[in-house]
Amino acid sequence: MEEFVYVNGKKMRKGYTTGSCATAASVAATHLLLNEEECEEVVVLSPVDKEIRIPIESIERVDDKTAIASVRKNGGDDADATHGMLIYSKVTLRDDTEVTIEGGEGIGRVTQEGLLVPIGKPAINPKPRKMIGDNIRKMLGESRGADILIFAPEGYEIAKQTMNRNLGIIGGISILGTTGIVTPMSEDSWKAAISIELEMKKKQGFEKIVLSPGNYGEDFAVNKMMIDETKIVSMSNFVGYVLKEVQRIGFEEVLMIGHLGKLIKVSAGIFSTHSKDADARAEILVANLALMGMPIPDLERVSKCLTTEAAGDIISETGYEGVYQIIADKIKFRSEKLLKYRDPKVKVDVVLFSSKTGLLSSTKPIKELMEEWK
């Protein structure tokens, strides 16, 4: 029976994690070996002691000691890059009591320090690894063992759509999940991944960090400011959360690089920049331009613009480009004020750009920032 959660009044289906999929496939393969019976679905126990019923996509017996089963990942109504992909488990019974868990094709390998998994090991996090081990140990008892190989043939390509590269996980997806269940519209896992990346950078010796809302900001940092991409962390729309994490983890300098249309919200104290939370771009521009003395007819034109790029044409035409410096300085002020009452003190600098014009403004001369952050 499907489980649901209500998000903003809408009924949405829950799903299950890659860790639950790997566990279910392992349970199905083990059940076939021990009982000579193919399962259409299995029940697995999650890390929070909740039973999860998961359908089995395929199952086959290779020989007397080996079987392979697969599960199709179902993210419910919170479908991510891994939704719909097949996750396999190959189980081989051993002659001793040991249970081993390894990653095969399509499962990423950890290449950098700072994660919960050691360098060189498959990206199977501790919670799902324990979930697999506990469920299989319960079936085997204490007198038998098994080698378990988790693999996902589509993993290499699908991993390109995830944050794995930023975390130093190469060659495939990660097997994740702290509860075994995916809750629709939950941003917790995304935020957790950003925190992990920040902590990893700190452990690697980085003392300051570049934050960008996404690919556009990262591209500007790398290709226009010549900043090494290893210094950059994507904060998505979670500006306030990430700034507080930066302070908690111990970074004392931050360079925020982003498109005007995204970071302008921060200048007004809006630290969750997704359009579902706030979209006051035109209003913020109008307020600042009005303080500079822009005539009302031009302010009305700006207020009707759907994008900051369109507003930029009017700003350029009327000679009010100085507004960009005012906005950059306000972003710096608001960000530092957010972190004012805790240690360490965090110094924030800002670079704003547009897709059409390129660099718009920065809180220090751009050449000076490029030298500091190279």
How confident is the model over 338-360, as pLDDT tens digits? 999 999 999 999 999 998 899 99
Token pair in block for residue 317: 């035409």
Supply the mean pLDDT for the chain.
92
Task: Give mean pLDDT, residues 241-268.
Answer: 96
Lowest mean pLDDT among 135-149, 301-315, 316-330: 301-315
Beta partners for 361? 352
State CA 180 to chain mean position distance.
Answer: 18
Within 13 Å of residue 299, how many CA atoms lie on the same side as its CB?
15
Q: What DSSP designation does 274 have?
A: -
- The reported pLDDT for the residue numbered 183 is 65
Residue with tokens 């939704």: 83
Q: For the whole model, what pTM was predicted?
A: 0.68
Say how far residue 235 (Cα) sits from the centre of its chain: 9
pLDDT for 1: 42
Look at residue 241 in the predicted model and tell me its pLDDT. Answer: 96
In the block, which residue shows the tokens 């979670």? 238
CA atoms within 13 A on the CB side of 330: 20
Distance (Å, whole) CA 87 – CA 67 = 14
Task: Provide the sign of the torsion angle of the four alpha carbons 351, 352, 356, 357, taken in this order.
Answer: negative
285 band by pLDDT with thresholds 50, 70 and 90 = very high
pLDDT at 3: 58
Distance of CA 55 to the CA centre of its chain: 27
What's residue 8's pLDDT?
47
Amino acid letter at 159?
A
Beta strands, E only, 114-262: 145-151, 169-170, 181-182, 208-212, 232-234, 253-259
What is the average pLDDT across 217-242?
Answer: 94
Handedness of CA 170, 172, 174, 175 (dihedral sign): negative
Q: Tokens at residue 209, please?
A: 């960090």
- What pLDDT does 6 receive? 44
* Percentage of the residues of the chain whose pLDDT score is greater than 70: 94
CB hemisphere CA count around 111 (13 angstroms): 12
CA separation (Å) from 232 to 92, 170, 256, 338?
42, 18, 10, 21
Identify the CA nearest to 180 among candidates 57, 59, 31, 42.
42
Average pLDDT, stretch 178-207? 82
CA 301 to chain CA mean position, Å: 38
Q: Compute the average pLDDT of residues 217-243.
A: 94
Q: What's residue 78's pLDDT? A: 65
Write out the DSSP string of 38-80.
--SEEEEE-TTS-EEEEE--EEEE-SSSEEEEEEE---TTS--
Q: Determine the Cα angle at 159 with ends 153 and 161, to 5°.
A: 130
Nearest to 44, CA basis, from 192, 147, 153, 177: 177
Q: Which residues pair with 259 in a beta bridge?
A: 353
* Residues 55 and 222: beta-carbon distance below 8 Å: no
* CB contact at 8 A, 181 and 73: no
285-289 mean pLDDT: 98
- Per-residue pLDDT at 184: 60
| Nearest Cα to Cα of residue 30 among 109, 89, 88 | 89
- pLDDT tens-digit readout, 59-71: 999 999 999 999 9
Tell me, what's the pLDDT at 23?
98
Give 188's pLDDT tier (boundaries 50, 70, 90): confident
Domain boundaries, given as residue ranges, for the chain? 4-182, 188-373
CA distance 367 to 360: 14
Q: Which residue has the tokens 């979209």?
A: 279
- Does the domain formed by 4-182 have CATH 2.40.110.10? no
CA angle 24, 27, 29 (to 5 degrees): 110
pLDDT band at 13 (very low <50, low <70, confident <90, very high): low
**What's the whole-number mean pLDDT along residues 92-116?**
93
